[in-house]
A and B are shown apart, each in its own frame.
Chain A
Amino acid sequence: MSSAIPLRLYVNGDRYEIAVEPRRTLADALREDCGLTGTHLGCEHGVCGACTVLVDGQPVRSCLMFAVQAEDTSVRTVEGLAPDEERLHPVQQAFWENHGLQCGFCTPGFLVLIAGYLEEHPDAEEAELREVLSSNLCRCTGYQNILTSTMCAARAMRGEP
């Protein structure tokens, strides 16, 4: 009853033909079956946000979704943020410039969360962004540099200096 079933996933524009048990979370399928280990797993019960990915453009906890549920959707992970090998996504660039990370464990979740939100809400203001950032946990930075990075990325994405 729980044997692997074939599944086609579209991740960062690439097609992955994998076979998973229904109980495989999307996070585990991305890491173990697609080899995309940029998505991190912290708590595995929806609290920490390290595993945040975009499904059809919306941020979700990939530990709280089964891989089979992502069939026919478009998934985007931290590996799919940068436009090419040379350039970083504006959110990644801003984290780089503003010391938005320390150990880096929570970083993929923050990057995906913020990139997804700013791409949909380029005019988001600080209070709104603080609320969004409260979704994820970081145990190193104290969040201030993450907020600074986010504000910086928002300006860059609006084309402001």
Chain B
Amino acid sequence: MKPSPFEYVRPRDLAEALAAIAQDPDDSKILAGGQSLIPMMNFRLARPARLVDVNRVPGLAGLAADGDRVRVGTLTRHHAMERTPLPGPLGDLLRRAAAHVGHLPIRTRGTFGGSIAHCDAASEWCLVARLLDAEMTVRSQARGTRVIPAADFFQAVFTTAMAPDEILTSIALPALDEHYRTGIAEFARRAGDFAIVAATAAVRVEDGLVTEARICLGGVAEVPLRSAAAERVLLGARWSPELVTAAAEAAAADCDPPGDAHGDPAYRRDLVRALIPRALGLDVRR
């Protein structure tokens, strides 16, 4: 229950951080909020030789408008997301998703970018990033900056497209106009637990018609899963509660969730069916 020894480096700026990780990328880890990494170190499931603590690197936290997008700094704490004054459907979604992340003392430390780089399939921020086709900006000393779309970023459990010497610096999300309906719903046995299944949605409805449909599920695959089947049902159709029910049915039929002690595949499909309408504010009883 105590971590193995490691070398601690606390860079003062991003260049120092990139240099520190470049010295030994395979045995170094970036320490951001530490709310996933430190438990893994306490269990000695992770034993990095060097921790590069980026908590005091300036310029990595906060939300900023960037044209038709909102750029989220990687070090933005969950608690700050929970209280963001960002208006509109994107602000609503971020605040509601943040409230599902762990508990208050976890949210005061844990970070948006840390969650995304950690790549847990049930993480709210990974879901939101995949839902909105976020673009992840990563940097390394050797190769400079590159931008990775969410569809390529999340590869497998705890595995992203980032190289070991790269640092995730910011995440760009589309600023959603007022025609979007957004939401998140999840089911967990206890408040603050990782969801067994989580559903997020961003559906654009104009003049009664669905002009864009995004549905993303957690807990049904190794990485956040966009439900192409549900999105096909919604797109171009006339918005109604029945339409959402049909989309949820399609998503449930189309996904192939794993089974474990928390729920077998059929149970998870039932959760998919129930949670998509809830994510869109429709508490449909079956």
Q: A and B from one assembly? A: yes
Residues of A participating in the B interface, judged by any CB pair closer than 8 Å: 1-2, 5, 21-23, 25, 28, 44-46, 49, 52, 58-61, 63-66, 68-69, 113, 117, 131-132, 134-136
- B108 in the interface, Cβ–Cβ < 8 Å? yes
- B85 in the interface, Cβ–Cβ < 8 Å? no
Q: Which of B6, B42, B103, B109 has the most CB of A within 10 A?
A: B103
CB-based contact B5/A23 at 8 Å? yes
- Cα–Cα distance between A59 and B10 once the two chains are bound (Å): 23
- Cα–Cα distance between A68 and B108 once the two chains are bound (Å): 18
Which residues of B (4-35) have their CB < 8 Å from a CB of A?
4-8, 10, 31, 34-35
A selection of 22 A-B contacts at a CB cut-off of 8 Å is A2-B6, A2-B7, A22-B6, A22-B7, A59-B108, A61-B106, A61-B109, A63-B38, A63-B42, A64-B34, A65-B34, A65-B38, A65-B109, A66-B51, A68-B8, A68-B53, A113-B104, A113-B105, A131-B104, A132-B104, A135-B103, A135-B105
Given A22-B51, A23-B3, A69-B55, does the pair A49, B109 have CB atoms closer than 8 Å?
Answer: no
A7 to chain B, nearest CB (A): 11
A145 to chain B, nearest CB (A): 19
Total A-B residue contacts, Cβ distance less than 8 Å: 90
User: A5 to chain B: which residues have CB within 8 Å?
Assistant: 8
- B236 in the interface, Cβ–Cβ < 8 Å? no
CB-based contact B104/A135 at 8 Å? yes
- Cα–Cα distance between A143 and B63 once the two chains are bound (Å): 37
Interface of A, helix, strand, loop or mixed by DSSP: mixed
- Cα–Cα distance between A131 and B192 once the two chains are bound (Å): 9
User: A52 to chain B: which residues have CB within 8 Å?
Assistant: 105
B26 to chain A, nearest CB (A): 16
- Cα–Cα distance between A45 and B108 once the two chains are bound (Å): 16
User: A66 to chain B: which residues have CB within 8 Å?
Assistant: 8, 31, 34, 38, 51
Q: 20 extra interchain contacts, Cβ-Cβ under 8 A, other than A25-B42, A44-B42, A134-B191? A: A1-B49, A2-B7, A22-B6, A23-B41, A44-B1, A45-B42, A58-B79, A59-B105, A61-B105, A61-B106, A64-B35, A65-B38, A66-B31, A66-B51, A69-B31, A69-B53, A134-B103, A134-B190, A135-B105, A136-B103
- B87 in the interface, Cβ–Cβ < 8 Å? no
Given A49-B103, A52-B105, A59-B108, does the pair A23, B192 have CB atoms closer than 8 Å?
Answer: no
The range of chain B's interface size is: 20 to 34
CB-based contact A58/B108 at 8 Å? yes
Which residues of B (118-140) have their CB < 8 Å from a CB of A?
none
CB-based contact B105/A60 at 8 Å? yes
- Cα–Cα distance between A21 and B7 once the two chains are bound (Å): 9
User: B281 to chain A: which residues have CB within 8 Å?
Assistant: none
- B158 in the interface, Cβ–Cβ < 8 Å? no
- Cα–Cα distance between A23 and B108 once the two chains are bound (Å): 21
CB-based contact B51/A49 at 8 Å? no
CB-based contact A23/B38 at 8 Å? no
A143 to chain B, nearest CB (A): 12
B249 to chain A, nearest CB (A): 32
- Cα–Cα distance between A5 and B8 once the two chains are bound (Å): 10
CB-based contact B43/A22 at 8 Å? no
